[in-house]
Structure 1
Amino acid sequence: MIGSAFHPGFLAQPYWWEAAPPETARDEPLPKRVDLVVIGSGFAGLSAALEAARGGASVAVLDAGPLGGGASSRSGGMVSSGQKLVLTAALKGLPAEKQLAALEDSKATFEFLKDLITREKLDADLQLCGRFFGAFAPKHLETLKRNAETLHARTGVTIRILSREEQHEEVGSDYFHGGFVVEDYGGLHPAKLNRALREAARATGARLFSHARVLGTLRDGDGHKVSTERGEVRAQHVLYATNGYTDTSSAWLQKRLVPVMSYQIATEPLPPGMMDRLIPRLRMVTDSRKELTYTRPSPDGTRILFGCRPRALQVEPQRLALALRARMLRFWPELSPIRITHAWGGYVAMTADRIAHVTEKNGVMHAVGCNGNGVALMTFLGWHAAQLMLGRTNRRAFFADIPFPAVPPLTNTAAFVQLASAAYHLRDFTANPGEVVAERLGRPRRSTTTTTKEARE
């Protein structure tokens, strides 16, 4: 049974890396001095490097591992704007003018990414296909309706609310209890975007170095001394863009982030016509669980990519893949004969206030805190951080104009994350106990998707 679930060529690595693998770049020695050192080669770091180098600054991007090996090339590749701030109530308690600034700048991140991809001619498979938000439990539908109304009112996105019967227009499954569609959102190939940003940054003069773990930074006159495993670099400016992969080289930053692992699987290519039944309009799909489920077609429309945090204590790739597959089959039982080709995980950075931040401490800039919504957001924040450091703007975006609180003691430890995950699972069980139990027991759901197309016709 276990063996039949996996393709013979199964790999415990991101599906995205088939088209755009991480890069080793450690043959060239580190420069002695640059205008800007960027720590981290994800979307934020590369966007900052591109912006700085475009303006004539000398830039060195340093990564502890291969370039593009972190969360940016491991994500689901879903692209949105300010919905996370609205749906999580992260702005509650802020003054009205701050809430307005947050929503305006959040919407700007989506537009910024689209413009950047067009302007720089980045090969990223961007598709403005929309997203379906599904109700995991019957009582969640009313909450989703309220969220949809708030989202439309506060961000202006185009929304359609769907009943359980109407949802078959979007997803060929009875798993959900209705939901809503946001037409304005989309998806892309995250590893291709990372590769394209690397190429663009290099083309403007930035230099990128892999396997150059930063050990620490020290204020040195009007600049900084950056110590790495490959030597020392002096820089006028330093930017930490390490997000969920922040380590002890910055104790101050580490106290403000909680790294949380999210897992995904990819199926082998589906038989002709099956995707038309599963996700007819090729939308991005998420649900209303506390332990969020997210799924989508691959950019070429041939495979299902399926992600969630299935169990707090599991780490072995094949066991994780089976747990995700069990949930996937509750969505779509007809995928039972379809094998898994890839399984992987990546760390996202959560903050105490559930908001991303651009902030300076002791002369060092930081752009972090994606909170699971980082493709457009972190690309924008890296660009904005570079502008601030190099004096190219007098305007501070909302994310650069609020305090960056530390997380409570011990909450960024593995033990706490496991406890929090267990609490989320309990809340999902309370909302829909039958579904959670059936999923854990591996019970099949009766398939209805084979009749979906006929019903529409």
Structure 2
Amino acid sequence: MPREHRPLKTTPYWWEDAPVQPLPEVPLEQKVDVAIVGAGYTGLSAALTLVRAGRSVAVFDRQHPGEGASSRNGGITSGNIRLDHATLLRKFGNDRTIAIEAEGKLARQHLYDLIAGEGIDCDLQPVGRFTGTLGAEDYDSNARSAEHLHRTLGIESFAVPRSEQRDYIGSDYFHGGTVRMDISGLHPAKFIAELLRLVQAAGITVYADTAVEKIEQDASGYSVTTARGKLSARQVMICTNGYTDRMDPWLRRRIVPVRSRMIATAVLPADLMAELTPKRMMMCDTRTLGFYFRPSPDGRRILFGGRDGTNLDDPTKPVAYLRENMLSIFPQLDQTPITHTWFGHVAMQRDMIPRIFERDGMIYATGFCGSGVVWAPWIARKAAQKLLGNANEAPSAFDFRAPAPVPFYNGKPWFMPFFMAQYRMRDRIKMRRAGR
């Protein structure tokens, strides 16, 4: 067994360099043009778009700004769409499918332009991503997908046969893989801190630790009741994603929060890091309950994450599960201590694609299904333009009906252990077919 550091830190590794902090309390405004609920990537990005269009904006969060998934995620600009091309066609038709796939490229470029244009210091590293496949059939399917991306969208994407795998990852676990060079790594807590800096510099008031308790329509627009009092808003945007609470029971029946947990290794020798991550790429695999992993921005640790289907306060079992799977890929880490573990909530919903929709005149931007680093700033911008009524802005392929409610669900995902067991069974079958 490895030598463990005690105690294991249960705050995000990211907070070591960019701690999430409370904001000074300020008087509650009486009236604004737009009230935004949620001060993560989505809410702050939307606020910036709106204030630069001349709107007065107030942003509310029941936690510190960015304390949710915005400062807890893996910092990989994946911009994944969970549904494959055939499923998208079946669910949404040819035109919307083509638009969804094309918009992913626009969303990622928007993120990079935002970081460069605003001078955001968040350790952006344009290194690409390696996706490990689990067998010959899996490799062939993903190789075709990589070729499709290159042919239809001009994305630098290609297959890596098993004979060349060690050029990209220090592991023999996979049956080759694919590479996408448009995917980068960043420091998520630094990114949200920089967004907060921009928002505050633009004169937007962010009310931290101020839960929104109720929103009611009235003659002037909306009456917004918060833990610190009421204010009036002409328009409202909801950006709560995986942290949707009882304030909006209608949305809560449509958004399922799923824990995504990460672990961080102790600092590793430089030669071992060079072996494990020869090109310092972001990494993932093709399991249904896949894992995502990467070098830390300083290139000294491995950060490893995956879905945590538990509701346990004690992290011992989920940490052991992540560590076991990390060692299956990187047995070289057998004697390496784990120093940090933490989790955040990703927002799943029945459509499994990011969404913009409207209800009772309020605009919703939510449901990023674990890929909010790319999708949240983009969807926020498109939702803000919708709220502004900007006819010159191209419509988003993600702007249509609300996701359907989840049957027998009212905010507590009681069914997650069943689904996690089902997905793990699929992965075991997949791996048996691959000869594992």
Q: How many pairs does the alignment contain? A: 435
Secondary structure, counterpart of 2:365 in structure 1: strand
Deviation of the 1:314 alpha carbon: 4.8
Do the aligned residues in 1 keep the contact of 2:125 with 2:186 (CA within 8 Å)? yes
Q: Is 2:240 the partner of 1:212?
A: no
Change (3 A) 1:90 1:292: farther
After TM superposition, the structure 1 = structure 2 runs for residues 430-445 of structure 1, keeping only pairs within 5 Å, are 430-433=429-432
Deviation of the 1:269 alpha carbon: 1.1
Do the aligned residues in 2 keep the contact of 1:356 with 1:370 (CA within 8 Å)? yes
Match of 1:409 among 383, 400, 407: 407
**Given residue 355 of structure 2, which amino acid in structure 1 is its aligned partner?**
H
**Could you tell me the TM-score, scaled by structure 2's length?**
0.94
Deviation of the 1:255 alpha carbon: 2.0
Secondary structure, counterpart of 1:192 in structure 2: helix
**Given residue 353 of structure 2, which amino acid in structure 1 is its aligned partner?**
I
Paired residue for 1:188?
186
Paired residue for 2:227?
229
Match of 1:291 among 289, 292, 313: 289
Paired residue for 2:105?
107
Change (3 A) 1:313 1:27: closer
Distance 2:81 2:359 in 1: 29
Do the aligned residues in 2 keep the contact of 1:84 with 1:373 (CA within 8 Å)? no
Distance 2:366 2:152 in 1: 24
Cα deviation code 1:411-442 (max 9, x no counterpart): 56422122111100011111225999x9xxxx
Do the aligned residues in 1 keep the contact of 2:59 with 2:205 (CA within 8 Å)? yes
**Given residue 65 of structure 2, which amino acid in structure 1 is its aligned partner?**
L
Cα deviation code 1:273-330 (max 9, x no counterpart): 1111001001111101110110001111111000012554655223322221111111
Do the aligned residues in 2 keep the contact of 1:388 with 1:394 (CA within 8 Å)? no
Secondary structure, counterpart of 1:410 in structure 2: coil
Paired residue for 2:370?
372
Secondary structure, counterpart of 2:258 in structure 1: strand
Change (3 A) 1:82 1:293: closer
Paired residue for 2:4?
6
Secondary structure, counterpart of 1:97 in structure 2: helix
Distance 1:327 1:263 in 2: 13
Match of 1:80 among 78, 97, 103: 78
**Given residue 402 of structure 1, which amino acid in structure 2 is its aligned partner?**
F
Change (3 A) 1:31 1:296: same
Paired residue for 1:422?
421
Do the aligned residues in 2 keep the contact of 1:41 with 1:68 (CA within 8 Å)? yes
Distance 1:80 1:88 in 2: 20
Paired residue for 1:69?
67
Paired residue for 2:253?
255
Do the aligned residues in 2 keep the contact of 1:312 with 1:422 (CA within 8 Å)? no
Deviation of the 1:355 alpha carbon: 1.2
Deviation of the 1:161 alpha carbon: 0.8
Unaligned runs of 5+ in 2: none
Cα deviation code 1:363-399 (max 9, x no counterpart): 1111001011111111111122122212334435334
Do the aligned residues in 1 keep the contact of 2:100 with 2:398 (CA within 8 Å)? no
Secondary structure, counterpart of 1:201 in structure 2: helix
Paired residue for 2:348?
350
Change (3 A) 1:249 1:373: same
Do the aligned residues in 2 keep the contact of 1:356 with 1:399 (CA within 8 Å)? no
**Greater mean alpha carbon deviation, residues 161-170 or residues 395-404:** 395-404
Distance 2:257 2:121 in 1: 29
Change (3 A) 1:428 1:88: farther
Do the aligned residues in 1 keep the contact of 2:263 with 2:322 (CA within 8 Å)? yes
Do the aligned residues in 2 keep the contact of 1:313 with 1:418 (CA within 8 Å)? no
Match of 1:336 among 327, 334, 337: 334
Secondary structure, counterpart of 1:157 in structure 2: coil
After TM superposition, the structure 1 = structure 2 runs for residues 161-176 of structure 1, keeping only pairs within 5 Å, are 161-176=159-174
Do the aligned residues in 1 keep the contact of 2:327 with 2:334 (CA within 8 Å)? yes
Do the aligned residues in 2 keep the contact of 1:98 with 1:398 (CA within 8 Å)? no
Cα deviation code 1:163-197 (max 9, x no counterpart): 22211110011111111111111111111100000
Cα deviation code 1:187-240 (max 9, x no counterpart): 111111000000001111111111111112001113111111121121111111
Distance 2:89 2:38 in 1: 28
Secondary structure, counterpart of 1:47 in structure 2: helix
**Greater mean alpha carbon deviation, residues 265-274 or residues 81-90:** 81-90
Paired residue for 1:120?
118
Q: Over aligned residue pairs, what C-alpha RMSD do you find?
A: 2.1
Secondary structure, counterpart of 1:60 in structure 2: strand
Deviation of the 1:80 alpha carbon: 3.2
Distance 2:359 2:78 in 1: 29
Distance 1:7 1:82 in 2: 34
Distance 1:137 1:252 in 2: 42
Change (3 A) 1:310 1:35: closer
**Given residue 427 of structure 2, which amino acid in structure 1 is its aligned partner?**
D
Cα deviation code 1:19-77 (max 9, x no counterpart): 11112125212211111111111111110111112223221111011111001111111
Distance 2:377 2:86 in 1: 21
Do the aligned residues in 2 keep the contact of 1:358 with 1:367 (CA within 8 Å)? yes
Change (3 A) 1:202 1:57: same
Do the aligned residues in 1 keep the contact of 2:68 with 2:243 (CA within 8 Å)? yes
Q: What is the percentage of aligned positions where both structures have the same residue?
A: 38
Secondary structure, counterpart of 1:30 in structure 2: coil
Do the aligned residues in 2 keep the contact of 1:39 with 1:214 (CA within 8 Å)? yes
**Could you tell me the TM-score, scaled by structure 1's length?**
0.90
Do the aligned residues in 2 keep the contact of 1:44 with 1:378 (CA within 8 Å)? yes
Distance 1:316 1:417 in 2: 18
**Greater mean alpha carbon deviation, residues 82-91 or residues 12-21:** 82-91
Paired residue for 1:136?
134
**Given residue 368 of structure 1, which amino acid in structure 2 is its aligned partner?**
T
**Given residue 286 of structure 1, which amino acid in structure 2 is its aligned partner?**
C
Cα deviation code 1:126-157 (max 9, x no counterpart): 11110011113443222222322333334321
Deviation of the 1:404 alpha carbon: 1.8
Distance 1:86 1:76 in 2: 22
Paired residue for 2:177?
179
Unaligned runs of 5+ in 1: 439-457
